[in-house]
Amino acid sequence: MTITFVGHGYVGLVTACVFADFGNDVWVVGHTPEKIEKLKNGDPLIYEPGLKELLKKNLDAKRLHFTLDFEKAIPKSDIVFIAVGTPPTETGEADLSTVHAVADTIGKNLKKGYTVVSCKSTVPVGTNLKVEKILNDVKPEGAEFDVASCPEFLREGTGIHDTVNPDRVVIGSKSQKAIEIILEAHKPLPGARVITDLASAEIIKYASNAMLATKISFANLISLYAEATGADIETIMDAVGGDNRIGRKFLFAGIGYGGSCFPKDVMALTETGKQLDLDTGILDSAERINRIVRDNFVHKVVENTKGKKIAMWGLSFKPNTDDIRFAPSVYIIEELLKMGYFITAYDPAATANIKKIFGDKIKYGRDMYETVKDADALYILTEWNEFKQADLAKVKKLLKYPTIIDGRNIYNPEKMKNRGFTYISTGRKSV
């Protein structure tokens, strides 16, 4: 098949590389000349394990093409996937301006023949019908199309694995022809096939992310109980997650969820609920708890740090990505700067993105150990594997005071006590 992806972010680029690897002729349309040139030269622009190698492989095989010109890609495509961003507005609704603008341009470039236009972007219920109307309003005479919704479920940091090994492939459309074509494109992939209507497919993506965000917030709420009573959150969640109706995944306490999906999708689903006059209390609570645990971490910093010169490990919202959108680190850094703290931070991948926000307001370490030298305390905000394997004896020697405040529970409290650290974690006894 010939397949086009409009958008080359975490979803568009990863999925395009995977579909090219299956032997399809894949086009990726962007709107920034500098970025398209970098992509053509094998620079994926984002950090995602294995992506650079997969990009180069399919560029060399001439199955993957990047362009600014819709006219080069759309007319020859069997499927056009819309994979552009839908960031939140000030009120929390999804900003669909780019989706609508892209739909307009796609429509004007449809071929005289048949094309499936499918949203991979996460969009509120009813958006695909709006896309269909836009396409109908601008399409050339003789062009035929059907609209479908085919949401993605990849996780940043494991994007290639998740795309190649999906739990399920969701396809929503009122056209059986469109469904069959998208099914054919996904034939190399395992996982269940969920065939449904447009509205259900749109809601499935939001419902999935809202459920995962709610599990994280639930674990964080119970961690506050644990801290107030001297209980242990890890023991509690191991037992709760041991119930196979619940499961352990996403029941990990910390400093809250972030990234490009959970925060905006919870907000967007909440706003949609309000428009439908529904009680969105469970979603409101998930978001409120997410804010509370960030503030709780800042409170631990103030209560347990002897000085104001601090080291920070981890800036990305999760390991194995450079994404800092809605990352707890951004909020925590902002709050600590207001209080007069001097911060030296290190992250294996996200430093360049943090610099775009804070510039020289904070310092940046070249590695873990340079970052902690002479600091009054170390704060851990992201659970990168290299932090788990750190030489803690060396860390202790470099720190001015042997204090670690761990927002991700990566160390064992008793072992940290035996090493001579003051160790404050989440939902566990401080030592």
Work out the end-to-end distance of the chain between its first and last CA atoms, rounded to an integer number of angstroms. Answer: 60
State how far the Cα of 224 lies from the Cα of 231, in Å rounded to an integer: 10
Confirm whether residue 66 is marked as ligand binding: no
Spatial separation of the C-alpha atoms in residues 360 and 171, rounded to whole Å: 47
Residue 390 annotated as lining a ligand binding site: no
Q: Is 251 annotated as a binding residue?
A: yes
The 3-class secondary structure across 60-90, one letter per residue, is HCCCEEEECCHHHHHHHCCEEEECCCCCECC
Asked if residue 153 belongs to a known ligand binding site, the reply is yes
Strand partners, 378: 311, 404
Tell me whether residue 261 is one of the annotated catalytic residues.
Answer: yes
Question: Is the distance from CB of 428 to CB of 233 less than 8 angstroms?
Answer: yes
Evaluate whether 273 touches 280 at the Cβ level (below 8 Å).
yes
Q: Is 253 annotated as a binding residue?
A: yes
Annotated binding residue at 252? yes
**Which candidate, 267, 331, 324, 325, places its Cα nearest to that of 296?**
331
Q: Is 35 annotated as a binding residue?
A: yes
Burial, 178: exposed, middle or buried (Cβ in 10 Å; 0-12, 13-18, 19+)?
Answer: buried
Please check if 145 is assigned to a binding site: no
The tokens for 371 are: 């970052």
Please check if 86 is assigned to a binding site. Answer: yes
Catalytic residue among 17, 119, 150, 261: 261
**Is 254 labelled as part of a ligand binding site?**
yes
Residue 318 marked as a ligand binder: yes
- DSSP H/E element including 4: strand 2-6
- Which residue matches tokens 């904070």? 362
Tallying the residues shown for the chain, one arrives at 431
Q: Is 407 annotated as a binding residue?
A: no
d(CA 233, CA 222): 7
Coil, helix or strand at residue 255: coil
Q: Is 383 known as a binding-site position?
A: no
Is the CA virtual torsion 237, 243, 244, 245 positive or negative?
negative
Cα–Cα–Cα angle for 374, 317, 53, rounded to 5 degrees? 105
241 assigned to a ligand binding site = no
DSSP H or E stretch at residue 169: strand 168-172
3-state secondary structure of 322: coil
Q: Which residues are annotated as a binding site for NAD(+)?
A: 35, 86, 122, 156, 264, 325
Which active-site residues does the annotation give?
Answer: 261
Residue ranges of the annotated binding site for substrate are 153-156, 205, 250-254, 258, 318
Annotated binding site: 35, 86, 122, 153-156, 205, 250-254, 258, 264, 318, 325
